[in-house]
A and B are shown apart, each in its own frame.
Chain A
């Protein structure tokens, strides 16, 4: 009896370990393979390769430079704008108690729950609608991409600001006010400095969200303006070679560095769930 139970336990824990290993494979295998392919000295995928080279990394700028540059520009401007709009919203939601506050908070975070493909299509048709009536060219322009990215990054800024204010003591603000500081001064000199780690985290987070977006960009890019994820997707439609793997690795490294930095300011696992 005892032995049977012991055997069952061993089989059980072996099964659990197998599942853990499979999970790690499912998450990390593609990343490792991408690293591996990016140093192949081959034009295509051939196993085993005849040699290894780092030269593919040198060719990234030529093929994907324009897309990387516009992705960076869009992300930087969108982050700045979404901080400008999102930080006050975060302060407002945590400071004021009013009827419908819960509903407003859900409303402001709703871009997170609507599928990107629907948002992208909607913004495109609205841009064309506006263009037909005002002759302001929006569809396929950089401005529209930036505005769309403000929409999807702002909820993260609000969430991170709310999180950083959840333990904030209002008494310092009240003290500053009673000593004669006007409300704007209180926010500038007391609230914002207290939120600094949260704001840095929000900026990094928003940057990553904007940089990796695919679905919304699909509808808003034009022959003149593309972004890195769209360029990679289009390239993969025709060929898979070490060059595209090198681009992928470059992106993994950039995002990884941003995350390590981010991890110093907030506990990432808490923000995400």
Chain B
């Protein structure tokens, strides 16, 4: 067998370039961003080198930003809840079906994952737009107007639609990993299908469900296209706010601080959520 030294050399040849890519394109940009988030900002001179916590303090002291963060967390949490509600039955059906169309169905659910969120929002815009489909239908049948465009409900529906396939695919593989004989045994002992699900499948799949929920929550926290397109200019969430501060105000220090606040909040909340899951159910 090869000597340890030559193994190290070989391993670094294989792994070195990839490590360099992540160091140069991810670690150094984030390090520079962290440094910039401590700089001062002046509308005429833009960024001024300094070491100040003013950008972070501004976020936590001004009510507007607190409101934006609350909206972001609220949308992400509500979307995650709805994703679980709608995703669980579909994922369970998909996992347990013996239909020969199963793989076609799976492919159909996977397809939207790879179509950008912008493209998938187009359909909702058609439905919600003023004098769009829903508005016209409501006017014809109920003689009333429905204007969902630029409302929080539209953003929640749009984001739900983007996150749901992720949820279904993750949950499907969780259920797929649970032996069907367990349900058969439960039902053989007299449990109804519903009871068999809640008493046998649910506890067994809880770690996987937790992972799926956290994934959906993270996607919701970072959503950009749906709040911009369906929420309109007055609906503010973190990612659009960050881009706006960068692009319109050229306030790099503050947008850098926003990036870290967003990442830290997401990390904190997901860690917290993970600690709520009882120890014995954890992945």
Interface contact A273-B19, CB-CB below 8 Å: no
Out of B29, B87, B111, name the residue touching A123 (CB < 8 Å): B29
Interface contact B242-A212, CB-CB below 8 Å: no
A: contact size bracket: 35 or more
Interface contact A26-B86, CB-CB below 8 Å: yes
Interface contact A19-B85, CB-CB below 8 Å: yes
- The smallest C-beta distance from A1 to any residue of chain B, in angstroms, reads 13
- The smallest C-beta distance from B150 to any residue of chain A, in angstroms, reads 13
Interface status of A30 (Cβ within 8 A of chain B): yes
Bound CA span A112–B32, Å:
20
Interface contact B161-A27, CB-CB below 8 Å: yes
Interface contact B123-A212, CB-CB below 8 Å: no
Interface contact A30-B110, CB-CB below 8 Å: no
Interface status of B96 (Cβ within 8 A of chain A): no
Interface contact B123-A32, CB-CB below 8 Å: yes
Interface contact B21-A30, CB-CB below 8 Å: no
Out of A151, A208, A218, name the residue touching B21 (CB < 8 Å): A151
Interface status of B259 (Cβ within 8 A of chain A): yes
Q: Which of A37-91 contact B (CB under 8 A)?
A: 37, 45-47, 84-86, 88-89, 91
Pick the interface stretch among B49-57, B59-67, B124-132. B124-132
- The smallest C-beta distance from A241 to any residue of chain B, in angstroms, reads 10
Interface status of A121 (Cβ within 8 A of chain B): yes
Contact with B along A127-171 (1 / 0, CB 8 A): 001000000000000000001101100100010000000000000
Interface status of B235 (Cβ within 8 A of chain A): no
Chain A residues lying within 8 Å of B127, measured Cβ to Cβ, are 29-30, 33
Given the contacts A20-B89, A118-B30, A30 and B161 also touching, CB distance less than 8 Å: yes
Chain A residues lying within 8 Å of B36, measured Cβ to Cβ, are 125
Bound CA span A212–B168, Å:
21
Chain B residues lying within 8 Å of A197, measured Cβ to Cβ, are none
Bound CA span A123–B28, Å:
8
Chain A residues lying within 8 Å of B118, measured Cβ to Cβ, are 214, 229, 232-233, 236
Interface status of A190 (Cβ within 8 A of chain B): no
Out of A84, A91, A111, A269, name the residue touching B14 (CB < 8 Å): A91
Chain A residues lying within 8 Å of B170, measured Cβ to Cβ, are 272-273
Given the contacts A86-B18, A240-B122, A114 and B30 also touching, CB distance less than 8 Å: yes
Chain B residues lying within 8 Å of A119, measured Cβ to Cβ, are 26, 29
Interface status of B243 (Cβ within 8 A of chain A): yes
Chain B residues lying within 8 Å of A252, measured Cβ to Cβ, are 111, 115, 119
Interface contact B117-A272, CB-CB below 8 Å: no
- The smallest C-beta distance from A118 to any residue of chain B, in angstroms, reads 4
Chain A residues lying within 8 Å of B255, measured Cβ to Cβ, are 121
- The smallest C-beta distance from A228 to any residue of chain B, in angstroms, reads 8
A-B contact pairs, 30 of them (CB 8 A): A9-B192, A23-B87, A29-B161, A30-B122, A30-B124, A31-B115, A32-B123, A33-B123, A45-B126, A45-B129, A45-B131, A88-B13, A92-B15, A111-B25, A111-B26, A115-B262, A117-B222, A117-B242, A121-B246, A122-B29, A122-B30, A125-B36, A125-B252, A151-B26, A213-B116, A214-B117, A240-B125, A252-B111, A255-B111, A268-B110
